[in-house]
Chain A
Amino acid sequence: MIYLDHNATSPLDRRVYEKMIPYLTDIYSNPSSIYRFAQGARSAVEDARLYLAQLLNADTKEIIFTSSGTEADNLAIKGIACQLREKGKHIITSKIEHHAILHTCEFLEKYGFEVTYLDVDEYGLVNLDQLKKSLRKDTTLVSIMLANNEIGTIQPIKDIATICHENGSLLHTDAVQAVGKMPIDVKELGIDALSLSGHKFYGPKGVGALYLKKGIKIIPLLHGGGHESGRRSSTENVAGIVGLGEAARLAKLEMKANEAKIRPLRDKLEREIIAKVPEVKVNGHPEKRLYNTLNICLKYIEGEGILINLDFEDICANSGSACTSGSLDPSHVLLALGLPHEIAHGSLRLSLGKDNTPEQIDKVIEVLPKIAERLRSMSPFWQNK
């Protein structure tokens, strides 16, 4: 099997798995308990917190473990917006955010908050002038993703943070696709809150975290026993947290080597597909883009057919076509770039990981042109071409 869907989820690193095992078996204690047996679980959670803090250049007190990236997004948006509701009820985000942000904002709109959704340019970059013009006295929170999951475009988050802070607004960033792939220094970038997810960078599913800058108060989503300094109650998912911590530790050590391996493969894939398949459009920014992500539109064909044909070749990929989402509309991200529906329907996302080999990439380069040709031969729009 050739797995090229790392932006959906990544395989669990074997070393991470080994680290987790004791906390699923022998070391089952509740970290909050008083006896010595609980010490092992407690210190494992705190070690993980340290590794994660080090990956982001944050303080350990600034890390709140959650069950997912989605929960971290929900906690940040609802928690900060509700905390600051007396100060203002205006939020700014972008049109290409993950649904964990967009649907959370839509939820808040139903409860009296106002949300501005910023446009993006053809490469997926947020318009900073529009951001400046949209900021108001009552804008308490801005949430702009660091790197987009579909097209990989990386936002100028430091500039965005500066603009927000000049207005006295906080900046949250959904960094689920960026953490573990690229260096992130929350202090240097001026980020107030950041969401991440373990399974996007070789950690386990079911665990994520929110970085929340010291001094920022938040209303919790989960009330209960007061875990995570009262910001997220629930007995800790110890094994998951240990896995997340180990994934963070490994990412810090191996990020550069991973990039050095993955980027040339992605670039080759992009180059060869463009050379071998006519009428292909690459989506996302040419340079400011995650080095593992390739999103293309194969004009005149529909994405699901491409995916199924790739699946017959044992290649796992993804698409922003309507048929793969269960709705009739293609990806909101591709539409926000200004792509017409019929082109957005023909999108294909190939997202690479550290275990992909040159041979696997060659195989995709070999089969994709044939698939495109076959599907185009069926398409009425390809007529007379």
Chain B
Amino acid sequence: MADIYTDKVYDYFRNPRNMGELKDPDAIGKVGNTKCGDVMWVYIKVKDDVITDCTFKTFGCVAAIATSSILTELVKGKKLDDALKVSNKEVAGALGGLPQIKMHCSLLAEEGLRSAVEDYRSKAPKTA
């Protein structure tokens, strides 16, 4: 198992960026299920339609934790619509690739963010 991941995956697994609960988040995305072994929670703070902060908590394998972590970096500072364009392939690519059987983990990250944005938009007062 150990040689199937890139150094970058190991780095993000061992030193996860933006890990933990966010204090007073504007929205939370909760995706995955325990049956297949991956659950991800994404916390976001939003100001003027821009993600100002993003953190995660993840129950899952090495790939699930690494993809969760790098996702938070990829979307921070992005406008919500631009953040939604971050694809699972981009997430995996940012880690130098994932083994085929672990690609579903990157999908989890993409879905996690979408879920957080949906949560935010369902709560945010319409200003237009």
Task: Classify chain B's interface size.
Answer: 20 to 34
Residue from B37, B60, B61 in contact with A341 in the complex, judged by beta carbons closer than 8 Å: B37
Flag whether B34 is at the interface (Cβ < 8 A): yes
Flag whether A330 is at the interface (Cβ < 8 A): yes
Task: Classify chain A's interface size.
Answer: 20 to 34
Specify which chain B residues have a CB less than 8 angstroms from the CB of A330 in the assembled complex. 37
Flag whether A357 is at the interface (Cβ < 8 A): no
* Known contacts A307-B1, A345-B34, A383-B21; A321/B101 CB under 8 A: no
* Known contacts A304-B1, A308-B13, A345-B34; A380/B62 CB under 8 A: no
Specify which chain A residues have a CB less than 8 angstroms from the CB of B61 in the assembled complex. 302-305, 321, 323
Specify which chain B residues have a CB less than 8 angstroms from the CB of A308 in the assembled complex. 1-2, 10, 13, 62
Flag whether B51 is at the interface (Cβ < 8 A): no
Which of chain B's residues has its CB closest to A324's CB?
A: B1
Count of chain A to chain B residue pairs whose CB atoms are closer than 8 Å in the complex: 76
Residue from B10, B40, B101 in contact with A326 in the complex, judged by beta carbons closer than 8 Å: B101
For residue A197, give the distance in angstroms from its CB to the closest CB of chain B.
22
Residues B58 and A380 in contact, CB atoms below 8 Å apart = yes
Overall SS of chain B's interface? mixed
For residue B2, give the distance in angstroms from its CB to the closest CB of chain A.
5
Residues B2 and A311 in contact, CB atoms below 8 Å apart = yes
Residues B37 and A302 in contact, CB atoms below 8 Å apart = yes
For residue B29, give the distance in angstroms from its CB to the closest CB of chain A.
11
Flag whether A356 is at the interface (Cβ < 8 A): no
For residue B114, give the distance in angstroms from its CB to the closest CB of chain A.
17
Flag whether A290 is at the interface (Cβ < 8 A): no
Flag whether B71 is at the interface (Cβ < 8 A): no
Specify which chain A residues have a CB less than 8 angstroms from the CB of B62 in the assembled complex. 304-305, 308, 323
Residues A380 and B57 in contact, CB atoms below 8 Å apart = yes
Which of chain A's residues has its CB closest to B58's CB?
A: A378
Residues A378 and B34 in contact, CB atoms below 8 Å apart = no
Specify which chain B residues have a CB less than 8 angstroms from the CB of A326 in the assembled complex. 101
Residues B37 and A322 in contact, CB atoms below 8 Å apart = yes
Residues A380 and B1 in contact, CB atoms below 8 Å apart = no
Specify which chain B residues have a CB less than 8 angstroms from the CB of A301 in the assembled complex. 59
Flag whether A1 is at the interface (Cβ < 8 A): no
Flag whether B120 is at the interface (Cβ < 8 A): no
Residues B16 and A378 in contact, CB atoms below 8 Å apart = yes
Flag whether B121 is at the interface (Cβ < 8 A): no
Specify which chain A residues have a CB less than 8 angstroms from the CB of B23 in the assembled complex. none
Flag whether B123 is at the interface (Cβ < 8 A): no
Specify which chain A residues have a CB less than 8 angstroms from the CB of B109 in the assembled complex. none
Specify which chain B residues have a CB less than 8 angstroms from the CB of A377 in the assembled complex. 19-20
Specify which chain B residues have a CB less than 8 angstroms from the CB of A305 in the assembled complex. 13, 60-62, 65
Contact code string B86-105 (vs A, CB < 8 Å = 1, else 0): 00000000000000011000
- Residue contacts A-B, CB under 8 angstroms, 19 given: A301-B59, A302-B37, A302-B60, A304-B62, A305-B61, A308-B1, A308-B2, A321-B37, A322-B37, A323-B60, A323-B62, A323-B63, A324-B1, A326-B101, A342-B35, A378-B19, A378-B20, A378-B65, A379-B59
Interface residues, chain B, with chain A CB atoms under 8 Å away: 1-2, 10, 13-14, 16, 19-21, 30, 34-41, 57-65, 101-102
The 6 closest A-B pairs by CB, nearest first: A342-B34, A323-B61, A304-B61, A380-B57, A345-B37, A380-B41
